Structure 1
Amino acid sequence: MTLTTPALLFPAISLLLLAYTNRFLVLAQLIRELNGKNKAEMRELIVRQIANLKKRLMLIKLMQGFGVFSFILCTFSMFCIFLEFETGGKFLFGASLISLAVSLICSLYEVIISMIAINVELESLEL
């Protein structure tokens, strides 16, 4: 394994973290909008959305955390390879890939929850 192998993940992880940040910003905007709605008329919808939003915030925190951890492990992997400690570099690179996979699984789960939230919004439009 060469120094460039872990380096290949850097652009992918960076773009992934940017996408996660965008999801967080959209979620923050949704929460602000929900807070500004007429609470008396929308009480049932708001109660249903709050649990969903809390779960999504927790997942985004996990997504970002595992993504950053993957980035750090990838950096340490490159450093180990640079110091010619190839076994450690391979181990850290593998751990980086696992961390990235966990981040992606959290992201998939967050997307599924997001689709449920959209269906709740559609139900409110049908009323």
Structure 2
Amino acid sequence: MDITTPALLFPAISLLLLAYTNRFLTLAQVIRQLAGSDYADMALTRAQIPGLKRRISLIRFMQTFAVISFLLCALAMLAIFLAHSSLGHWLFGLSIVTLAVSLVLSLIEVVISTQALSVVVADLEQRIGNLR
């Protein structure tokens, strides 16, 4: 393995961090909208709060593991550059593992997000049903 192998992960991890930041900003906007609303439907708001808390925590861990992966990848390149290829291999392997953990957490966050949307859709269906 040469220095270009870990370097291939750099753009992928950077894009992943950008996607995670966008998820966080969107979630922050949803929370601020809920906080600024008049709580007209307390049951719907109450149903969303546990999922929002879990998603905040998951996004924090997703970003943490992605940053650790990025750092380990950089250290792997440094180790390979300094002719410590065995250490570079180990650091690159750890980088891949932490990236995989970040992706699994991302998948869990997506599942929770879709469950939250299901709650909102069910509420919409109920409201429309009540109008008939």
- With structure 1 as the length reference, what TM-score do the two structures score? 0.97
Please state if 1:60 is matched with 2:59.
yes
1:1-127 alignment, distance < 5 Å: 1-39=1-39, 41-126=40-125, 127=127
Q: Give 1:45's aligned amino acid.
A: L
- Give aligned pairs, total: 126
Larger radius of gyration: 2
Three-state SS of the structure 2 residue aligned to 1:50 is helix
What's the offset of the Cα at 1:35? 1.2
Segments of structure 2 that go 5 or more residues without pairing to the other structure are 128-132
Same amino acid, percent of matched pairs: 56
Q: Taking structure 2 as the reference length, what is the TM-score of the superposition?
A: 0.93
Report deviation, 1:27.
0.1
1:36 deviates by 1.9
1:34-61 Cα distance to aligned partner (Å, 9 max, x none): 112221x311111111100000000000
Q: Which runs of 5+ in 1 are unaligned?
A: none
